[in-house]
Structure 1
Amino acid sequence: MKRVGVKTAVLSITAPGACILPSRHARAQLARQLNEYSANLRDKDPKSFAFFVSLPDILDTDDALAEIAYGLDVLHADGITLFTRYGPSNTYLGHPDVEPIWAELNRRACVVFVHPTHPVDTNPVNSKLPQPAIDYPHETTRAAMDMITNGTRLKYPACQVILSHAGGALPYIISRVTTPMRKAADFAVSHRMGTTHDKAMESFRSFHFDLALSSSPQVLDMLLKMVPLDHILYGSDFPYAPITAYPAFLESLESYEMDTELRNMINYGNAMKLFPRLARQRNGTL
């Protein structure tokens, strides 16, 4: 869940979503049920709720495209939820098999919320570390790097892509990809990765980053230095985290020193630019 205004939240069904079911028909059916249920919640209180479309496995291309059309054109959702990877071959979001989905979302200039699914290796590091602690942020990092190195973000720039949890480890490790590319002598590195320093950084800065469970001073310091200020969004991750986590992360965000203009941008202003319907509704023009 993402707060985009004083009293408005965007509802998103995160992993495993409809992909949990084994058959193509069942996945498509469950995605439709999730979307109609979410639309019904929104319609009961449109000033408080919006929602992102849930999709079946996006490798079921025709089914996914049909649900995109239904969710956006019929149910009037405000965006789409994608997971970091799909299918038994672990297809991440920069793979050519996903391009029909990106092409359609780009045509619609859609807001896309990327949320991690479970890691390929589901064995925990140890019994004290549940998957969301480290594996989910790493999944987001893998998907984002896949999109950067395969040129997905530059090829489909009309999509406004939100990475959950401050982009995982992406802000921390992006220099591992881009710094060697500054040197002409490292042509081989650029050739292998299929991009350049400037293109990689342009792709990186094109993402939007939500602060769900990611509002420590260290994270905020890095984001504020590395990404456009209008690409940072409040996020809560409610109700997936332990109930004690929310006040702790909110306290970190509220106690971080920033001016009122920036705080208002992060709390709701930036999101209102992404969701003009909500902005119109908040201003009483809808």
Structure 2
Amino acid sequence: MSHLHTNVNCSTSPSTQFHSPKIIDVHHHVFFDAQKKAKKNTLVGWITPPEHLPWRPSPAMLAMNTMGIRTAILSPPPVAITNRTEVRAMNIYLSQLRAAYPTRFGFLAGLPTLGDVQGALNEIAFALDHLEADGFALISSYGTGNTAKYIADDLFDPIWDELNRRHAVVFLHGAQTPSSTPYPHPFLGLPISEVPNETYKAAAQLVVTGKKRRFQNVKIILAHLGGSTPFLAPRVASLSHYMGCPLTPDEILHDFKTFYYETALSSHPTTLAALDAFVPIDRVLFGSDYPAVSTATSRWFTKHLEDHYAGEPCKLERILRDNALALFPRLRA
């Protein structure tokens, strides 16, 4: 059953996409400090292409051209930052990049670690009222070990209240949180083995606490097709209700379907078929995860995306561009 409004005028096709950059990429990080990023990579078991560090606009735009990307929505690294001054400087820099290259970049502002509630509220106001940010980038939890709090914790309600009042877009990325044991193999570092589940846990917490529907004006994009969310949502629906969640299984599933899901490092016939069966096509966005991986790696996933929708160019166009235009209307100019 199709969730798509028919559009006979759509023009995107796999054969022309890379020759005519049209894609809007909602998952593009700016790594400000190459040394800090390399150190973090060692801790989490990851390799960022050395030629991508530090992030610079010219090489980024060249890579975007190679991948058929017209505009990238820039976001900070997916880590918690406690220093308000550092977050402010980062957001100002991202806004300057957008001002310098208005058709190539948008930006999602970072917030200080959400435990600093007042600092986060101050930055929301500054980012929207002075920098005109396109939205905000959050991670799944803040703090470490037993002190960590996932984003639906009651402590953070004033932040969600303000984001809801502002009808904000939020890009939600899984934190690089280690499990109780080290990651199982050098080929299975935290970004591979843990981050997708962290995204799922944050999304599930928002749903079962009722906060996804309470703060329904916030448009939340889940990174990497939501990680394991599409596969585990039915399990949450039944078992969380069994454990006392007042929402019915159908209500829980409905709320999972109100997230947006972006494709970075996740597009494959298996995952896309699951998503097709789970959410309307207007909830799916394109992401590359540049500069975390090589452009060849990003294009491998994009080819699977294009192949999957080869017979449905209207759906492909929705994912590659039109759905993002609905969330970020500034880009229509």
Same fold? TM cut 0.5: yes
Counterpart selection for 1:145 from 186, 189, 204: 204
Tell me the residue number matched to 2:319: 266
Counterpart selection for 2:75 from 8, 12, 18: 12
CA RMSD of aligned residues (A): 1.9
User: How far has the Cα of 1:267 moved from its partner?
Assistant: 0.3
Distance of 1:156 and 1:33 partners within structure 2: 28
In the alignment, is residue 106 of structure 1 matched against residue 169 of structure 2?
no
Contact 2:80 2:113 in 1 (8 A): no
Give the gaps of 5 or more residues in structure 1: 20-26, 182-186, 282-286
Tell me the residue number matched to 2:305: 253
Q: Larger RCO: Structure 1 or Structure 2 (Cα < 8 Å, ≥ 6 residues apart)?
A: 2
Residue 221 of structure 2: SS of its match in structure 1? strand
Q: Which runs of 4+ in 1 moved over 2 A?
A: 241-244
Distance of 2:80 and 2:153 partners within structure 1: 21
* Matched ranges for 1:1-286 at <5 A: 3=25, 7-19=70-82, 27-88=83-144, 89-121=147-179, 123-179=182-238, 189=242, 191=244, 193-257=245-309, 258-279=311-332, 281=333
Contact 2:87 2:110 in 1 (8 A): yes
AA aligned to 2:270 is Q
- Distance verdict in 2 for CA 1:58–1:180, change over 3 Å: closer
Q: Which moved more, 1:195-204 or 1:141-150?
A: 195-204
AA aligned to 1:108 is R
Q: Comparing both structures, which one devotes a greater share of its residues to helix?
A: 1
User: How far has the Cα of 1:2 moved from its partner?
Assistant: 6.0
Contact 2:262 2:284 in 1 (8 A): yes
Contact 2:78 2:138 in 1 (8 A): no
% of aligned pairs identical? Answer: 34
Residue 68 of structure 1: SS of its match in structure 2? helix
User: How far has the Cα of 1:128 moved from its partner?
Assistant: 2.7
Contact 1:112 1:162 in 2 (8 A): yes
Distance of 1:128 and 1:190 partners within structure 2: 36
AA aligned to 2:197 is H
Residue 173 of structure 1: SS of its match in structure 2? helix
Q: Which moved more, 1:155-164 or 1:248-257?
A: 248-257
AA aligned to 1:125 is P
Contact 1:56 1:64 in 2 (8 A): yes
TM-score normalised by the chain length of structure 2:
0.76
